[in-house]
Structures are given as C-alpha cells and as structure tokens.
C-alpha cells in the first residue's frame, strides 16, 4: 500500500526518454492498447512509474 502511495508520476517528456519514441508513436500505441494509458493529472498527462516498468518487464519477458 505504501508503494502505491509513493509511486512516482512520470511526465510525457520523461516517457519519451524512457521508451525512445515521440508523441505520435506514443499516442498510436496507447490507442492500440500497446502502451499503458496515462492518468489525467489536472490538465496534464502522467504515467505511474510502476505501470511503465511493468510494461517494460512484460516486453522483456515476451522477447525471451
């Protein structure tokens, strides 16, 4: 429970740095359910760090 509360919210620019692609590709992947949907945080979009990490771990597992 404490981990949930302490989960970091990543900005869109941080997501670009992590995954290596930009807005258009990210938006198309979200629409296709190939990338986690963001959380609306005021007028901005944010992603939970744990959700993005789980997505990356899943990619690694599929590649094995």
pLDDT digits (tens, 9 = 90+) for 9-51: 999 999 999 999 899 999 999 999 999 999 998 899 999 999 9
The sheet with strand 9-10 has its strands ordered as 9-10, 44-48, 39-41
At residue 5, the pLDDT reads 63
pLDDT score of 54 more than 80? yes
At residue 61, the pLDDT reads 83
Span 16-25, pLDDT tens digits: 999 998 999 9
CA-based nearest residue to 39, from 29, 28, 49: 49
Quote the tokens at residue 56: 């990356």
pLDDT band (50, 70, 90) for residue 7 = confident
CA-based nearest residue to 4, from 45, 37, 51: 51
Torsion of CA 22, 27, 28, 30, to 10 degrees: 120
């Amino acid at each position: 429970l404490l981990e949930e509360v302490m989960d970091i919210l990543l900005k869109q620019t941080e997501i670009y740095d992590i995954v290596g692609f930009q807005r258009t590709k990210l938006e198309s992947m979200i629409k296709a359910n190939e990338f986690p949907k963001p959380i609306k945080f005021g007028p901005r979009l944010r992603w939970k760090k744990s959700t993005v990490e789980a997505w990356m771990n899943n990619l690694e597992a599929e590649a094995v």
